[in-house]
């Protein structure tokens, strides 16, 4: 296990961040199901995305790389084959596990998906249950709740599914399975989750319709691939944006970053807190909410005096990856910030409510949790100390940003987990320090 120590500092400069994880996963999966050869530029090479890449190689898809441009020779909807070694290991990648289950539900063979100890504790029934309703046969620990999971695909029936939680992974798994069902499959969410899957499927020729919080796909689909370029990851950007807003004298610009409207909630929350954050689209057409492709552009941020806000339950799905770093921002905001209904944080790589509260209490923050609510009173003078990653990449990165405003040195233990999503994080942080 590796540790790192950070000290108080400011951030300055211009940076291009690694490719978006969510889009990269979907680019690999959907291109593999297309009928033709697709070139993907700027694909994420984090451990999670490499798990998806290796899985589809094992399913018989030819994937080659040349100077970080990947060529995927699509096998068509029915061209995948049973993995020769019988088991697909997906490491710590929940996105890989849940989305691949959706694809495998429509195959004519059985597969076994396994994971590391952390992912094997994360709930899967939210995906296996609707896929079983469509006709897939899935077995695993506690009735398909936990990996390893064995799935026998086959003839699927369409469903109209009302999801109990807003989750892009759940929605995507059902839509991918819906490609194989005769008829129209609909997913209705309680709140809007990120929409990368439906955008990409539509651009590959799938019959997709979106009405409010409902998304429908009509199968059986025939996908025709198109070349893709993955934008920078806005979730990765959130760490440096918050670091800039809370560190006196800081100012940064992040170029070529994704600005999908279902992913910009963090920017809007920071502005609501009084942050000097602004963004500009690469092309003015991208600001249109009905723009079909992935929007991208430039974000700038400066040190700001933040104020407390309340984040309501209906905002949580669009902020789920950014909540840990927004908690850090709240420790430096004037007044009481309350984050309501954040229970989904408890079923990530770790219980992120517990990990963030326990670490920040050690640093001297005025923070507590009440069931699934988090209450933070600021601004707090944070003290350097030793904190834990709890094996969770977002906790580790959030604590490194908190270390920018501590008095004394902050040591984060067990930072290897950062490789699952952002291997270059600490190198980038070091480069932006001035």
DSSP 75: -
Evaluate the CA torsion angle 396, 401, 404, 405 in order and state its sign: negative
Tell me the H-state helices in 114-264.
125-134, 141-144, 168-178, 196-203, 234-246
Is 288 known to be catalytic?
Answer: no
Contact criterion met (CB below 8 Å) for 387 and 410 = yes
Question: pLDDT (tens digit, 9 = 90+) per residue, 196-229?
Answer: 999 999 999 999 999 999 999 999 888 998 899 9
3-class SS of residue 36: coil
Helix (H) or strand (E) holding 55: helix 47-58
The predicted pLDDT at position 130 comes to 97
Tell me the H-state helices in 185-342.
196-203, 234-246, 265-272, 323-331
For the sheet containing 296-302, what is the strand order? 12-16, 251-258, 296-302, 276-281
Question: Rounded to whole angstroms, how far apart are CA atoms 371 and 351?
Answer: 12
Question: Rounded to whole angstroms, how far apart are CA atoms 257 and 259?
Answer: 6
Residue where the block lists tokens 């796909």: 217
Report the DSSP beta bridge partners of residue 111. 151
Question: Rounded to whole angstroms, how far apart are CA atoms 256 and 270?
Answer: 20
Q: Half-sphere exposure of 183 toward its Cβ, with a 13 Å CA cutoff?
A: 9
Q: Take residue 426 and report the two structure tokens written for it.
A: 């600490």
Q: Which residues of the chain have pLDDT under 70?
A: none
The predicted pLDDT at position 275 comes to 98
What is each CA distance from 128 to 49, 73, 152, 409, in whole angstroms? 21, 28, 12, 45
The predicted pLDDT at position 273 comes to 98
Question: pLDDT (tens digit, 9 = 90+) per residue, 311-325?
Answer: 999 899 899 999 999
Residue where the block lists tokens 């430096």: 332
133 CA to centre of own chain: 26
Q: Take residue 366 and report the two structure tokens written for it.
A: 């005025």
Residue where the block lists tokens 């694809």: 103
What is each CA distance from 197 to 31, 248, 303, in whole angstroms? 12, 39, 35
What is each CA distance from 163 to 170, 172, 193, 326, 371, in whole angstroms? 8, 12, 11, 26, 22
On the question of a common fold for 4-19+231-432 and 21-229, the answer reads yes
What is each CA distance from 281 to 14, 195, 284, 358, in whole angstroms? 17, 18, 6, 38
- Does pTM surpass 0.95? no
**Residue ranges of the domains in the chain?**
4-19+231-432, 21-229
Contact criterion met (CB below 8 Å) for 138 and 97 = no
SS3 content of the chain, % helix, strand, coil (to 5): 35, 30, 35
Phi first, then psi: give them for residue 42, nearest 5 degrees: 65, 50
Residues 6 or more apart whose CB falls under 8 angstroms from that of 191 comprise 166, 213, 314, 316, 317, 318
Contact criterion met (CB below 8 Å) for 419 and 44 = no
The predicted pLDDT at position 285 comes to 78
CATH topology of domain 4-19+231-432: UDP-n-acetylglucosamine1-carboxyvinyl-transferase; Chain (3.65.10)
Question: Rounded to whole angstroms, how far apart are CA atoms 275 and 289?
Answer: 24
Give the DSSP letter string of 306-344.
-B--EE-GGGGGGTTTTHHHHHHHHHTSBEEEEE---GG
List 314, 321, 351, 366, catalytic entry: 321
DSSP 231: P
Question: pLDDT (tens digit, 9 = 90+) per residue, 265-280?
Answer: 999 999 999 999 999 9
Superfamily of domain 21-229: Enolpyruvate transferase domain (3.65.10.10)
């Amino acid at each position: 296990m590796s540790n790192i120590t950070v000290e108080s500092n400011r951030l300055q400069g211009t940076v291009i961040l690694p490719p978006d994880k969510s889009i990269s996963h979907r680019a690999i999966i959907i291109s593999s199901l297309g009928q033709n050869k697709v070139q993907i530029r700027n694909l994420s090479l984090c451990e999670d995305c490499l798990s998806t890449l290796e899985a589809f190689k094992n399913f018989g898809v030819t994937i080659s790389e040349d100077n970080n441009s990947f060529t995927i020779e699509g096998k068509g909807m029915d061209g995948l084959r049973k993995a020769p070694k019988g088991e697909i290991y997906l490491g710590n990648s929940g996105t890989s596990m849940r989305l691949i289950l959706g694809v495998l539900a429509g195959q004519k063979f059985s597969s076994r998906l396994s994971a590391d100890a952390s992912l094997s504790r994360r709930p899967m029934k939210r995906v296996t249950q609707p896929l079983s309703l469509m006709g897939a046969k899935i077995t695993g620990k506690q009735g398909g709740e936990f990996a390893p999971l064995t799935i026998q695909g086959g003839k699927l029936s369409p469903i109209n599914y009302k999801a109990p939680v807003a989750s892009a992974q759940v929605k995507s798994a059902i839509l991918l399975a819906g490609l194989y069902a005769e008829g129209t499959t609909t997913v209705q969410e309680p709140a809007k989750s990120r929409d990368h899957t439906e955008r990409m499927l539509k651009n590959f020729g799938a019959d997709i319709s979106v009405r409010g919080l409902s998304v429908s796909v009509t199968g059986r689909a025939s996908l025709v691939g198109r070349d893709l370029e993955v934008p920078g990851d806005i979730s990765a950007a959130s760490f440096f944006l918050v670091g800039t807003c809370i560190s006196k004298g800081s100012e940064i610009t992040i170029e070529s970053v994704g600005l999908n409207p279902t992913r910009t909630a963090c920017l809007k929350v920071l502005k609501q807190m009084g942050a000097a954050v602004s963004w500009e689209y690469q092309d003015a057409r991208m600001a249109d909410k009905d723009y079909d492709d992935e929007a991208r552009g430039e974000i700038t941020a400066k040190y700001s005096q933040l104020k407390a806000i309340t984040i309501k339950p209906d905002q949580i799905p669009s902020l789920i990856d950014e909540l840990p770093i927004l908690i850090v921002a709240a420790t430096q905001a004037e007044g009481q910030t309350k984050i309501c209904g954040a229970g989904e944080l408890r079923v990530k790589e770790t219980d992120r409510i517990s990990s963030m509260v326990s670490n920040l209490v050690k640093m001297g923050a005025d923070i507590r949790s009440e069931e699934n609510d988090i209450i933070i009173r600021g601004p707090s003078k944070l003290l350097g100390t030793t904190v834990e990653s709890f094996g969770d990449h977002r906790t580790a990165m959030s604590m490194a940003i908190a270390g920018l405003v501590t008095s004394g040195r902050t040591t984060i233990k067990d930072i290897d987990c950062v490789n699952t999503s952002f291997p270059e994080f600490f190198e980038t942080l070091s480069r932006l320090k001035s």
